Structure 1
């Protein structure tokens, strides 16, 4: 592991620690760097600002790992892993999603949309749906998943991650059946 990656991870951990005590919008770069005794120049060498750091954490600690080998068969397990990670760092995610939900949500949305697009294309065997219809349907389901996960986090992550993932999978199966029937219907 490179020194740069080690430093980035240390800075990320520092932000998580500070987020346990302060709202994200009240956190300064000095608050972050003081955790490990780093200077501000070290922070700015690696990140432009705390928002870039936050985006880096979301991507590298969640979405890069999930997207690595996600498939239509294992996406619910990957969502479960995401939810477990979020619950493990509950204070951090509850604090930062409220402040910067669009950063988190945009990563989640793009991943979910790609999966649903793939599913819809595979279910539309007769190629009856236009690209616009497929995109619309995929975005509908992606927004649904994003909304449920963000809402779950904002409400305190009370439901167990396994149950959230199972319910999302159940809804997706129902959606698959609808998409299949829609693709099979004679117009």
Structure 2
């Protein structure tokens, strides 16, 4: 790898890290390019070599993070889901860890209904190939994003392994055999 490519990668990496750190402290609309470059320790011109503006940065970061999120689901087909609950829990744990890694991004973006719908729809499109049924894929996709949104906005009350265990358990529940009479006082809202 030549030094110019390495320097370019480093600058881009520093920009993303600085941006994510700023997202952890401020809403997106309050963050400026000046703040990003100062935090990243780079010049404005270096920033503009990589991104048009902060919106371009957010768009490219959203694409990268969403692709990474969805890549965890690309290993499944219907048979692997029903035959390997441990694989489902392992994948769900990887997703929870992914969300923790990008927690400032998800904390911001999962307050945006457009992004919530976009991510849910992208997950649905992955899962429709697994379930081969639009209804199940819709329920699983939108339900998963809903669960993860509550987990994030709840301040990560559960650890990633606890959230993954609960989410995969919910996902693998045979609802036709579930008795809603089984709720006790601890299960009520």
Report the TM-score, using the length of structure 2 for normalisation.
Answer: 0.68
1:119 aligned residue: 130
The answer on whether the counterparts of 1:97 and 1:154 sit within 8 Å (CA) in structure 2 is no
2:51 aligned residue: 47
1:106 aligned residue: 118
Alignment CA distance shift 1:142-1:150 (3 Å): same
Is 1:19 matched with 2:23?
A: yes
2:14 aligned residue: 10
Report the TM-score, using the length of structure 1 for normalisation.
Answer: 0.69
2:183 aligned residue: none
- Point out where structure 2 has 5 or more consecutive residues left out of the alignment: 177-189
State the structure with bigger RCO (CA 8 A, min sep 6), 1 or 2. Answer: 1
Name the CA distance, whole Å, in 2 between partners of 1:160 and 1:16: 21
CA deviation profile, 1:62-97 (whole Å, cap 9, x unmatched):
642761663345343233223224335544542x22
What are the equivalent positions in structure 2 for 1:57-76 lying under 5 Å apart? 57-61=61-65, 63-64=67-68, 67=71, 70-71=75-76, 72=81, 73=84, 74-76=87-89
Following superposition, the deviation at residue 168 of structure 1 comes to 1.9
Q: Helix, strand or coil: the match of 2:134? A: helix
Number of residue pairs aligned between Structure 1 and Structure 2: 163
Following superposition, the deviation at residue 106 of structure 1 comes to 2.6
